[in-house]
Chains A and B, each alone.
Chain A
Amino acid sequence: MPGAITKPYEQRSRFEEKVARTLTNPKGETRVQNARTPLHLLNGTITPAGQHFVVAQSGAPDIDPAKHRIAIHGLVKQPLVFTLEALARYPMVTRTTFIECGGNSAPLFSPTPMQGNLQALHGLVSCSEWTGVLLSTLLEETGIDPKAKWLIAEGADAPTLTRSVPLKKGLADAMIALYQNGERLMPANGYPARLLLPGWEGNMSIKWLRRIKLTDAPGMTFPETKTYSQLLPNGKAYQFYFIQEVKSFITHPSPDLKMSGPGFYEISGLAFSGDGKIARVMVSADGGKSWAEAALQEPVLDKSFTRFRLPWRWDGSPAILQSRAWDDQGNVQPTRAEFVAARGELKAPLSLAAFPNQHFNAITSWGIEANGEIKHVYA
């Protein structure tokens, strides 16, 4: 029997339709819209563009690339405005990097382990190959006033979201990204152009980028003062956290992926650091009493998802799986106890969709029960 007709743009098999993002605001009510990546149902290191997580304050604007402009001004020698057509003629670079929401993993601030799958607990991180023009290339043409220390980036969405970024980062590796995994950006990921700040808090990688202003001080905008500031146990708060610190979690096995009897399993997961390359991942099957080093899947790239794997034979008795990552800059993923000692935990659990606090990167534990069920546990 002949098969299906080949389409101009291929869709995945109808048997895979359940592999999808979970939405917190599917009707577009007057509040933020979140879409979480089904990390436990994907593999490898690249997130398909349609599965990339989204946090959109007010939905994706519908931007005609022919009409879009990006202005660079402020403490520059010559303010300039670029069309997308002009940007297409600039030297481009391609790099793989993850983007993680500062609020990813927020349910783990709960004092008791909240039950949810990997998507619900850690689904606000994704990794893509991005192609675009380095911001430094454009700043060479505008020139930089020596007084400039920051840049304020602004999106073309309804609230024209703005974030202040140290110019040092803007010159180090910031990109105006035009392509995601080889094709133009998805609308909800910033079409037709977004700022990309590898390894830094996702909200700072301004989507639908329309303006960059060089300044001598930060703008102290709403997201960088109120929203993305992290309360501490002493009543003070961190601000300008910037870096998504070294983190890992096991994707397989994980909640929702019930074990089908004793025998061989590959323990596999993702590790990443906003500060460098993953150097080492250790895995425990006994809640941290003993550890074994996992194999890192090549290529291991700077500020990117690294897939780790370890063969394991499950004997059918209760087990607690954990992973812990190190990066090449000397940073180590904290244990939960270390993290809570420094950052605190809530007095009572909130909902899985709540964002009580941010920048959680401690070890995650999966408890495997004798019947093969997998639960989120603290160990």
Chain B
Amino acid sequence: MFTPKLIAALALLALATGANAEGPRLGKTISAEELAAWDSSVMPDGNGLPEGSGTAAQGAQIFAQKCVTCHGEKGVGGSASALLPRGPITSINGGEKTIGNFWPYASTLFDYIRRAMPWQQPKSLTSNEVYALTAYLLALNKVIDEGAGLDAATLAKIKMPNRDGLIIRFPDRI
């Protein structure tokens, strides 16, 4: 039978070697409301898209004000990535990838504009502005009609032309 002294010694050993399963437990709980301020991820199925809407015409105006410096008129000729399609991809040069001929999901466009653009002031756009810019760029790339508007429901339904063009390299690692 274990004596009380031996049990105490074993408890100390367990602590000293970290053999007890209990971790430090120093994380603080965080509520859904607090998380909402952090969590800006938009998923391919539209999960995470905020309320709001915008049209391609509105997006064209915002583009002319806030994006044209780097991306050029109608998305060509700027220092940053061209935003117009260049037709089908005919080489292995990644520089040929554009929204219309390559991007597999429309959600990516909304998510990236919202988190990363404009370069000098990311996260300064309203949800309506992001919807409008997304609509403008998708219309420029002939993915949606020029007169079309976008909101959470319509954006989630868009099937991009290259949706099936990507091959998972090592599926066994997922």
Contact = CB atoms under 8 A, between A and B. Distances in A.
A218 to B, nearest CB: 8
Interface in B93-109: 93-97, 102-105, 107-108
B14 to A, nearest CB: 14
Contact of A78 (B29, B169, B173): B29
Interface in A321-360: 343-347, 350, 354-358
Contacts of A210: 38
A81 interface: yes
* Contact residues of B: prevailing secondary structure: loop
B174 A166 contact: yes
Given A240-B169, A347-B93, 15 more contacts: A72-B27, A82-B26, A140-B23, A211-B38, A217-B43, A217-B45, A219-B43, A225-B105, A226-B97, A236-B165, A240-B168, A240-B170, A240-B173, A343-B92, A356-B92
A231 B119 contact: no
Contacts, number: 187
Interface string A49-81: 000000001100000000000011100001111
A229 interface: yes
A239 B168 contact: yes
A237 B102 contact: yes
Interface of A: 29-31, 57-58, 71-73, 78-83, 86-87, 89-91, 109, 137-138, 140-142, 149-150, 152, 154, 158-162, 166, 168-169, 210-211, 213, 215, 217-222, 225-227, 229-233, 235-243, 343-347, 350, 354-358
A220 to B, nearest CB: 5
A235 B93 contact: no
Interface centre among B27, B97, B102, B166 (most CB of A within 10 A): B27
B167 interface: yes
Interface of B: 18, 23-30, 35, 38-45, 70, 79-80, 88-97, 102-105, 107-108, 111-112, 115-116, 119-120, 122-123, 165-170, 173-174
Contact of A141 (B27, B30, B173): B27
Given A219-B43, A243-B173, A79 B30 contact: yes
A218 B39 CA distance: 15
Contacts of A154: 41
A237 B23 contact: no
A66 to B, nearest CB: 15
11 contacts: A71-B30, A82-B28, A168-B174, A233-B92, A238-B167, A238-B168, A240-B169, A243-B169, A243-B173, A346-B91, A357-B94
Contacts of A159: 115-116, 122
B116 A71 contact: no
A160 B96 CA distance: 25
A124 to B, nearest CB: 15
User: What 3 pairs across the A-B complex have the smallest Cβ distances?
Assistant: A80-B27, A159-B116, A86-B26
A73 B43 contact: no
Given A211-B39, A220-B104, A356-B92, A239 B169 contact: yes
